[in-house]
Amino acid sequence: MAQIERFDQLSNRKLKLDHLNTHHFILKNEKIKNALFDIAKKFNLPIRNEVGFTIKNEAELADIKHPDVTIFDFTIENVNIETLRSFINKFEKTKKVVELVTHCGYVDDYTKTITSYVARNKELQVLQQAKEEGLFDNIQLISFGDL
């Protein structure tokens, strides 16, 4: 809760927090998971759906907005247009909300000092290629704030 209050202070209450996120499946810790769920409910904020990884079942998310599916497999050796196309083909005709976890961006010398994951440029290139090829044309792209 202190982080949410600090976010509000630093943004002079001009930015709207649109979701809560975790890193590296920290929700395996029941106390942290319960605290996150309580905060999500209190502030009506969506969270990432980690069913199959850290959330035991969908019922735990009953009162919390979340994507129907979260795809964590678009990383390392799976960063290519074929993998992305297969995810799109699998879900584009469904009414499911699908979160594709990415770490796309530009890698500079500073970035290399704070993370070992440097395939960010490649992810960005594949996503740009997908857009150019029209792979997103029949998909409604939304943010967590749209859930």
Q: How confident is the model over 56-67, as pLDDT tens digits? A: 677 778 889 999
Q: SS3 for 76?
A: helix
Distance spanning both ends of the chain, measured CA to CA: 21
Q: Are strands 98-100 and 69-71 parallel, antiparallel or unpaired?
A: parallel
**Among residues 99, 107, 110, 103, which one has the least CA distance to residue 79?**
103
CA torsion 109-7-32-101 (nearest 10°) is -50
pLDDT in tens, 24-68: 778 888 898 888 889 999 999 999 887 666 666 777 788 899 999
- Residue found under tokens 């919390």: 64
Instruction: Quote the CA–CA distance of 119 and 105 in Å, as a whole number.
Output: 9
pLDDT in tens, 111-141: 999 998 888 999 999 999 999 999 999 999 9
Which residues, 6+ apart, have CB-to-CB distance to 4 below 8 Å? 17, 39, 43
Strand partners for 55: 51
Segments in the chain forming alpha helices (H): 2-10, 30-43, 81-91, 109-114, 120-132
